[in-house]
């Protein structure tokens, strides 16, 4: 949070806190100077070039408040606590606007600060430099990878989370040797590891504790899928829960998606159904070596039906019907004089169509 002029808007320091995050301990009240003006003058004060550098500009703080004593007046918060800190120019301008300078007690609470600022006020100074708040979010779950010096603080670090995150885990060193997923421990929140993740216009469900998935790879998934043509047949040897296979099928490709981990294969099958691409993806659960050996023969023996174009959504089908209707050759009656009263009475398809002149 930007600290302006003489105001100390940093969170209170609590280096003693190391296991339980006490959000109430972050309440803080700071006296700030405010200009009390008639409500009608608020706009001119806020827009004035003279005032620009003196107005309160803090995230999550309303800089214009109703005056609790007079409904017709407003308090415009300034970024200083004493009038001595204002320039003569600002003083003169405020006088011209019939503004009165008063002190307003600004209450700041835990939610005013970023996770990183809270962390800096909790951790011992020697750990503040390389603060460990790098984390990846997948659905409702945040996943951290803490270095060992932060481990004594892992539970309190886990509690500094945004309200959308319900579960925080820390990746452990150990990795499952067969299926390559990471073991993890719960740092904070609910022990609910089945996540709903949205990526590339697709919806994925999977159990984070038993499946390798890195949501940070989504640009790589998109990049590769962009190269596929709808007429391609794709074989994904290590398909996990479908981040390549399902977007590829949505594009029109036929896909063989394989993964050795039975949990992965189970969620892959669910995701194929949930994303309505069951007619285009064939899922399997076998060793990649066997899959590679067999997949080409499998395509030869059981060829996919010829590509007939991407399956249209209901909306696209409706548009296509309209397009065909409009493309029909004109009837002889069209040569009759145009009755202007019917012009506005277009069918919904005509009304929806964007004409070149509308662009």
Ligand X SMILES: C[S@@+](CC[C@H](N)C(=O)[O-])C[C@H]1O[C@@H](n2cnc3c(N)ncnc32)[C@H](O)[C@@H]1O
Pairing type for strands 167-175 and 141-144 reads parallel
> Residue 287, annotated ligand binder?
yes
Q: Which of 17, 37, 56, 260 binds ligand X (CB under 6 A)?
A: 260
Q: Does 240 bind ligand X (CB under 6 A)?
A: yes
d(CA 92, CA 325): 70
Residue 300 CB, shortest distance to ligand X, in Å, is 22
Lookup: tokens for 253:
């490709």
249 within 8 A of 220, measured Cβ to Cβ: no
112 within 8 A of 6, measured Cβ to Cβ: no
Q: Does 288 bind ligand X (CB under 6 A)?
A: yes
Q: Of 74 and 197, which CB lies nearer to ligand X in the complex structure?
A: 197
Alpha carbon 299 to chain centroid distance? 39
Residue 13 CB, shortest distance to ligand X, in Å, is 41
Q: Of 10 and 200, which CB lies nearer to ligand X in the complex structure?
A: 200
Q: Does 96 bind ligand X (CB under 6 A)?
A: no
Taking CB under 6 A as the binding criterion, the range among 45-53, 104-112, 123-131, 237-245 that sits at the site for ligand X is 237-245
**Interaction mask 195-234, ligand X, x per CB under 6 A:** -----------------xx---x-----------------
d(CA 137, CA 143): 6
> Residue 288, annotated ligand binder?
yes
Q: Of 36 and 251, which CB lies nearer to ligand X in the complex structure?
A: 251
Residue 155 CB, shortest distance to ligand X, in Å, is 29
User: Strands (DSSP E) along 8-61, which ranges?
Assistant: 28-38
Q: Of 50 and 233, which CB lies nearer to ligand X in the complex structure?
A: 233
Q: Of 108 and 235, which CB lies nearer to ligand X in the complex structure?
A: 235
Lookup: tokens for 201:
């216009």
> Residue 221, annotated ligand binder?
yes
Residue 203 CB, shortest distance to ligand X, in Å, is 15
Q: Of 85 and 217, which CB lies nearer to ligand X in the complex structure?
A: 217
Burial class of residue 297, CB neighbours in 10 A (0-12, 13-18, 19+) = exposed
Residue 213 CB, shortest distance to ligand X, in Å, is 5
Q: Which of 259, 269, 275, 284 binds ligand X (CB under 6 A)?
A: 259
N-term to C-term CA, the chain? 42
Q: Does 247 bind ligand X (CB under 6 A)?
A: no
Q: Does 136 bind ligand X (CB under 6 A)?
A: no
Lay out the sheet containing 182-189: strands in order across. Answer: 135-138, 141-144, 167-175, 182-189
Taking CB under 6 A as the binding criterion, the range among 15-23, 63-71, 143-151, 256-264 that sits at the site for ligand X is 256-264
In Å, what is the CA distance from 335 to each residue of 324, 326, 339, 341, 343? 21, 16, 11, 17, 15
Q: Which of 287, 311, 323, 326 binds ligand X (CB under 6 A)?
A: 287
Cβ-based neighbours of 320, under 8 Å, separated by 6 or more: 312
The enclosing H or E element of 255 equals: strand 254-258
Rounded to the nearest 10°, the torsion over CA 161, 145, 212, 251 is 60
Size of interface with ligand X, in residues (CB under 6 A): 15
Q: Does 238 bind ligand X (CB under 6 A)?
A: yes
Cβ-based neighbours of 270, under 8 Å, separated by 6 or more: 205
User: Could you give the count of Cα atoms lying within 13 Å of 236 in the half-sphere of its Cβ?
Assistant: 30
**Interaction mask 158-187, ligand X, x per CB under 6 A:** ---------------------xx-------
Q: Of 61 and 137, which CB lies nearer to ligand X in the complex structure?
A: 137
In the complex, the residues that contact ligand X under the rule CB under 6 A are 179-180, 212-213, 217, 238, 240, 243, 258-261, 264, 287-288
As annotated, the binding site for S-adenosyl-L-methionine includes 221, 287-288
């Amino acid at each position: 949070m930007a600290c302006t002029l003489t105001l100390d808007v940093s969170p209170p320091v609590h280096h003693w806190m190391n296991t339980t995050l006490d959000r109430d301990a972050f309440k803080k009240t700071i006296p700030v100077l405010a200009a009390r003006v008639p409500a009608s003058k608020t706009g001119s004060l806020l827009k004035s070039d003279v005032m620009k550098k003196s107005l309160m500009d803090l995230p999550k703080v309303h800089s214009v408040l109703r005056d609790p004593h007079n409904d017709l007046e407003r308090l415009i918060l300034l970024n200083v606590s004493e009038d001595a800190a204002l320039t003569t120019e600002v003083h003169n301008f405020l006088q011209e606007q019939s503004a009165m300078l008063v002190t307003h007690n600004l209450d700041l609470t835990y939610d005013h600060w970023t996770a990183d600022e809270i962390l800096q006020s909790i951790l011992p100074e020697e750990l503040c430099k390389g603060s460990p708040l790098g984390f990846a979010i997948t659905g409702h779950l945040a996943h951290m990878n803490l270095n060992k010096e932060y481990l004594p603080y892992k539970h309190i670090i886990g509690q500094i989370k945004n309200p959308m995150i319900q579960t925080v885990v820390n990746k452990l060193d150990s990795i499952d040797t067969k299926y390559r997923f990471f073991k993890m421990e719960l740092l904070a929140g609910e022990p609910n590891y089945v996540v709903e993740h949205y990526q590339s216009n697709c919806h994925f469900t999977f159990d984070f504790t038993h499946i390798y998935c890195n949501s940070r790879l989504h640009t790589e998934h998109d990049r590769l899928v962009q190269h596929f043509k709808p007429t391609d047949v794709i074989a994904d040897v290590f398909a996990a829960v479908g981040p390549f296979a399902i977007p590829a099928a949505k594009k029109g490709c036929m896909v063989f998606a394989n993964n050795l981990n039975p949990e992965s294969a189970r969620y892959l099958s669910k995701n194929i159904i949930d994303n309505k691409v069951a007619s285009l993806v064939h899922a399997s659960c076998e060793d990649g070596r066997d899959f590679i050996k067999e997949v080409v023969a499998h395509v030869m023996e059981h060829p996919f039906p010829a590509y007939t174009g991407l399956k249209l959504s209901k909306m696209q089908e409706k548009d296509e019907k309209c397009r065909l209707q409009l493309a029909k050759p004109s009837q002889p009656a069209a040569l009759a004089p145009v009755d202007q009263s019917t012009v506005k009475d277009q069918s919904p398809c005509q009304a929806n169509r964007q004409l070149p002149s509308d662009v």
